[in-house]
Amino acid sequence: MTSTLRRHSILPAINESQRLNALAQTGLLDSPPDPRFDALTRLAADLFKVPIALISLIDDERQWFKSRVGLGICETEREIAFCSKAIESNGVLVVPDTHSDPHFSANPLVVGPPYIRFYAGAVIYTKDRLPLGTICVMSPEPRQCTLDEQNILIRCAEMLESLIEADCDTTDCRGSISRMAYKLSDQSALTGYIRNAMKMPDLSLGIFMYRVLGGVSGGQKLARSSRLRSDCHKHVAQAFKDACLAHGRLNEDVYGLLFDSRKVPAGCATVLEDIADYEAFPTFRLYGTLIYSIPSATSFSSLISQLSYVWHNTDNLNHGVFQSETIDVASLIKSSFILKNLEAAIDNNAIGLAFSPVVDVRRTTDKTMLVSPLWKDEEGDLVDRDLVYSIAQYAGLSRKYSVYMLDRIFEFILDASVEGSEHAERYIVSLQGHELSRGDWLKEMVNRFRRYPLPVGSLRIAVNSAIPPASRNLAKSQMEELHSRFGVEFIYDGYGEDVGALQLLFDLPFKGVCLGSELVERIDSMPGDASAFSQSVVGICRHADCFIMAKNITTERQFITLSAMGCDYYEGPLIGDPAELPFTP
């Protein structure tokens, strides 16, 4: 018997003309494959253990599949589409057995290929609550669909809604540049684009880094200030026209626009200079730098970290005036303190450890510490912990750095204590994902445990980069072995930005996830208590039986919102200052 689970208590009657217009405005119909959508489709098929999963868009006379798993055709007539019936359901439509349902028993897709017996579809809505289509799962075998499973399907639909809305809202610059890179689909696509740019002389990437300083003063309201700032971002993007690949915030008050330098329109720099002096922004000031050469980043997050570091720490960039000359970022990074001195710091035992308290809301007596590198630059300022990881990879020092940090951490847990505090019950340490892909990594870790016999269950490893699909079986066996022998638990770090990473929770034995710092930072600009995207991420984590941690909590709003979302662990300046254990030669 057909059943439905309602998502909205009251929905307006569907205006088909408005619905079709909204669908057309998304630009999704007949669009190329998108890895973000494909990742959610594969995830749905795996979660329900069914051979067919689809993202279906309902046009006027057809249903077209934006993404599909297990089905060879790309569209069907609307009159036989299950999903056409689903968009009238106000939530989730479930058909446990089509042979017993009079609406579908004679359907050509039931009596003929692919012989559908089971169907469940969750409606995808616009922000105005107009149905666009569904994400659905199907099977040639009848089956039930539990309430929990229906809720998971709804969460997948909510994630799609957030992605579609963000794609349509090109002026929204509240998020990170990686979240805004929708023209190139996702971070993995951007990484491939960057790598190609390094190999092909006719393909060149550039980035425009800028700050919008000032604000609306006097009796003018904050809303006007926000609107002017948004207008400024919009004009910057328009200056690059089709050359714009990604646009968003890089770090703190610095914004970035990634562009294909081959397509930059003539006079772009002049337009940017005009924007900087535009009288419509009387209390604003735009400072920017055009950069036509970027480093050979191994990942998009690595590129962003490197660019942010250069912006904040290199004297070659004049932030006081608008610049449009070419800047060679690669040479700047190579001459910077961090790259020149990283290997020497490792050799001289000069990178210490910082221990940040992690609050477990379920166990007030539990004491967990997040361990990160403690290293200061020439000015005595602490180098960002995430930057150290990415620069080590950029410099070809990943393995050397990983060995150094793990040895220091094992030594400390076994033999030392942080001054003024007691030992923690658990320590969370970070590790690059590609380390788990090495065949000798397990042997190295076993030998390390033999040298430093830590208490069982005292170590959690946060994997802070993705593991390639071809290496996941090896990684899985090594993770399971360490857990069974030494109680090591693994956390997927930086979660929530790359939709494709969802699959990792079901492919690998992760016990927890750590929400990405960028996702946490966005909470302050989210309308309401939390975005549907964030809530959906948390829901899927729960379905994977993973605990949830959020790091770098800086505001009360972040903490309150994350608590409402159901996070288990919290770390950051709001929670407590890190204790420092420096190492010296």
Going residue by residue through the chain, which has 585 residues, state the pLDDT in tens, using 9 for 90 and above.
555 555 554 455 678 888 888 888 888 888 878 777 888 898 888 888 899 999 999 998 899 999 999 998 889 999 999 999 999 887 899 999 999 999 999 999 999 999 999 999 999 998 888 999 999 999 999 999 988 888 888 888 888 887 787 666 533 333 333 333 333 333 444 444 444 444 444 456 677 777 666 544 443 443 455 566 667 777 888 888 877 776 766 555 567 777 777 778 887 777 777 776 665 554 555 666 665 555 444 444 555 555 555 555 554 444 444 444 444 544 544 555 666 788 888 888 889 898 888 988 666 666 888 998 888 776 677 777 766 776 676 667 888 888 999 998 888 887 654 444 457 788 999 887 778 888 888 999 999 999 888 888 889 999 877 677 778 899 999 999 999 999 999 998 866 555 556 677 778 899 998 887 666 766 665 544 445 556 666 777 777 788 889 888 888 878 887 887 788 888 888 888 778 777 654
pTM over 0.85: no
Contact between 507 and 470 under an 8 Å Cβ cutoff? The reply is: no
Q: What is the 3 state secondary structure string of 100-162? A: HCCCCCCCHHHHCCCCCCEEEEEEEECCCCCEEEEEEEEECCCCCCCHHHHHHHHHHHHHHHH
Of 256, 286, 242, nearest in space to 177 by CA? 256
pLDDT (0 to 100) of residue 164: 83
Helix, strand or coil, per DSSP, at residue 294: coil
* The CATH fold of domain 3-168: Beta-Lactamase (3.30.450)
Domain 182-328, CATH: 3.30.70
328, with CB counted inside 10 A (0-12, 13-18, 19+), is: middle
- Would you say the CATH fold of 337-581 matches that of 3-168? no
User: Can you give the residue ranges of every domain in the chain?
Assistant: 3-168, 182-328, 337-581
- For 354-397, write each residue's pLDDT tens digit: 888 898 866 666 688 899 888 877 667 777 776 677 667 666 78
- What does the alpha-carbon distance between residue 82 and residue 139 come to, in Å, rounded to a whole number? 13
| The predicted structure's pLDDT at residue 567 | 86
Pick the CATH number of 337-581 from 3.40.50.1860, 2.40.100.10, 3.20.20.450, 3.40.50.2300: 3.20.20.450
How many Cβ atoms are within 10 Å of 324's Cβ, its own excluded? 14
Secondary structure (DSSP) of 491-532: EEEEETS-GGGGGHHHHS--SEEEE-HHHHHHGGGSSSS--H
**DSSP assignment of 158-212, as one string?**
HHHHHHHHHHH-TT--SSBTTTT-GGG-SHHHHHHHHHHHHH-TT--EEEEEEEE
